[in-house]
Structure 1
């Protein structure tokens, strides 16, 4: 009898182990069923437009199921895109309270900062973003968001304080942004020319420091350096000829130098403004036929309304008594007056006046002169 008892002991132990394991499985299954039920309930609230109840239901699950964070991030981003910033903030704040791996926690903090920014809560967004600029994986995106904040608040000096961090990235747009922040800060407090020279040397990709220094030097009658700066900008962006050529003229270039510049821009870059100015140069030298021939050849190669207008003006000089040319010139000019002159290469925003900062996408130095049949 005692021997039989000893034989049954292993069986009893095995049975106890099996039942205990089964009990754990039952608890796990019940827990999953509860989560599934709550999740289904939350989704049902969403589908029936009861969003507040849905958020409450879904946020309760975060304490149970932290593994579904990506789903919550997607939901919060959906609310933010719809303009429901308070709902997005509630979700991201709840996620921000969880103990998560560092990289995931940084991502959530960044999303929360974007919520605050979208809601206009800049004082809450700034410290969250400033704490993330050393996070290498998202540094560039964080800096761009931070610069958007400083642009909105016109806190140019704060942006300039991040120059060293910007130079740890490969971002061209961030460097252009920093250069423009400096120029904005100096609009109220004039600085020596050397400050612009240092800025140009530090951020050669930006056009604005060259442009601002050139205007400053023209006012001071330092024409040679001003002309060099303007020519450097034309080398970078020949499409800006319509705005820059009048400034180059103010630097009093020699006639031969002026003609060479216009010829190069018209031949190499087929720039409309340069072609029109070259025709005007010939006309002023009483070479009206040469001006007309130039415009005729260019119009055949590159149809453009502004060149056609210049052609009419030259023809009027040749035939001042022609009655219909003045009327045609007025009609063409009235047509051109209705056309936008600039567009943003980043977002497509169109405008009649130039901006260093695109009013639509808030990017620096992306608004450029229009090209095409109405372009300059």
Structure 2
């Protein structure tokens, strides 16, 4: 009897292992079936435009199966693009509560901050982004999103708190944004002075705004030497801005030869319309109207431009008294045409305007709105 018992023990063990294995498989199959049911139910709700019920169903599934995070992120981003920020927030908040690897958790935190920003919950978004500025992988995009908040709330002074963080990135656009927001902060506090602006020009040499503000401030204080230095630097490095810079340089008492050389370089090398117009005026004043007219005709053949034609009409009107009345009527038509044309265009998004903006009203990028070139340009 005892021997029989020992013989049956391996059989009992094998049976127990077999039944246990089947039990585990049964539980796995049952769990998978439950997941499939919840997922199918959630998708069905989405297809029948019952999005709130769909989200509830899918969030229940999230507790069971965290391996589908990318699917949930895609779904939340879809809701955000559609403007359903509350739905995107609910999904991202649920994901944010999960215990995930740090890189994935930080990415979800950033997406949640973007949701809050889109929904106008700036305080919540800022709180999440401040932590992410310390992340090497997300520091740059977190700073850009933070700066978007400061732009929306006009809290320019907050940008200076992140000067060191901006310096640690390789982003040119962040440095330009930082320089502009510090200028805005100084202007809002009526503290714009030469020393502070000069420091900004040295710290952010790629930004146009500090040099431009320095030149205007120097002109207002009759510091011609400082204004001239700042403007000549800008013309050298940003010739596309000549339409705005040259009228300021005219106030800097440049010698005739220096003014001629500057205009010649901009007109011939950079094909700047404003420089051509001013050079034609200089030739008419210091040479002859005939030389100025011939210069304009040559330039018009190379570079058709309404503004050059306008200047040619003016010179011919001064030369010929009998034709002055007819030319005056043509000039009025040209002036009316140009008065309706945009003067500036954003090179990032194409926004057009007659007014200068340091911050593009359309794409919210700094120093992208530049004087327009081309047949109607300056």
**TM-score, length of structure 1 as denominator length:** 0.98
User: What's the counterpart of residue 358 of structure 1?
Assistant: 360
User: What's the counterpart of residue 257 of structure 1?
Assistant: 258
Distance in 1 between the 2:27 and 2:196 partners? Answer: 70
Q: CA deviation at 1:108?
A: 0.9
Distance in 2 between the 1:320 and 1:284 partners? Answer: 18
Distance in 2 between the 1:167 and 1:155 partners? Answer: 20
User: What's the counterpart of residue 305 of structure 1?
Assistant: 306
Distance in 1 between the 2:182 and 2:113 partners? Answer: 25
Residues 8-40 of structure 1, C-alpha deviations (whole Å, 9 max, x = no match): 322321222122112101101110110111011
User: What's the counterpart of residue 277 of structure 1?
Assistant: 278
User: What's the counterpart of residue 374 of structure 1?
Assistant: 376
Q: CA deviation at 1:252?
A: 1.3
Q: CA deviation at 1:101?
A: 1.1
User: What's the counterpart of residue 340 of structure 1?
Assistant: 342
Helix, strand or coil for the counterpart of 1:49?
coil
Please state if 1:153 is matched with 2:153: yes
Q: CA deviation at 1:308?
A: 1.0
User: What's the counterpart of residue 11 of structure 2?
Assistant: 11
Distance in 1 between the 2:4 and 2:294 partners? Answer: 121
Helix, strand or coil for the counterpart of 1:131?
helix
Deviates more, 1:5-14 or 1:312-321: 5-14
Helix, strand or coil for the counterpart of 2:63?
coil
User: What's the counterpart of residue 198 of structure 1?
Assistant: 199
| Within-5 A mapping of 1:134-173 | 134-173=134-173
Q: CA deviation at 1:364?
A: 0.6
User: What's the counterpart of residue 66 of structure 1?
Assistant: 66
User: What's the counterpart of residue 211 of structure 2?
Assistant: 210
Distance in 1 between the 2:24 and 2:54 partners? Answer: 30
User: What's the counterpart of residue 238 of structure 2?
Assistant: 237
| Within-5 A mapping of 1:46-85 | 46-85=46-85
Distance in 1 between the 2:18 and 2:297 partners? Answer: 97
Distance in 1 between the 2:7 and 2:283 partners? Answer: 118
Distance in 2 between the 1:195 and 1:373 partners? Answer: 40
Q: CA deviation at 1:157?
A: 1.1
Helix, strand or coil for the counterpart of 2:345?
strand
| Within-5 A mapping of 1:23-42 | 23-42=23-42
Helix, strand or coil for the counterpart of 1:137?
coil
Residues 225-260 of structure 1, C-alpha deviations (whole Å, 9 max, x = no match): 211111111112111111111100011111111111
Q: CA deviation at 1:4?
A: 4.5
User: What's the counterpart of residue 331 of structure 2?
Assistant: 329
**TM-score, length of structure 2 as denominator length:** 0.97
Structure 2, unpaired ranges of 5+: none
Residues 116-153 of structure 1, C-alpha deviations (whole Å, 9 max, x = no match): 11111111111111111001111100000000000111
Structure 1, unpaired ranges of 5+: none
Q: CA deviation at 1:2?
A: 4.5
Please state if 1:127 is matched with 2:127: yes
Q: How many residues align?
A: 376
Distance in 2 between the 1:191 and 1:211 partners? Answer: 13
Q: CA deviation at 1:297?
A: 0.7
Distance in 1 between the 2:286 and 2:222 partners? Answer: 26
| Within-5 A mapping of 1:97-136 | 97-136=97-136
Query: What RMSD, in angstroms, separates the aligned Cα atoms of the two structures?
Result: 1.2
Distance in 1 between the 2:348 and 2:237 partners? Answer: 18
Q: CA deviation at 1:294?
A: 0.9
Q: CA deviation at 1:321?
A: 2.0
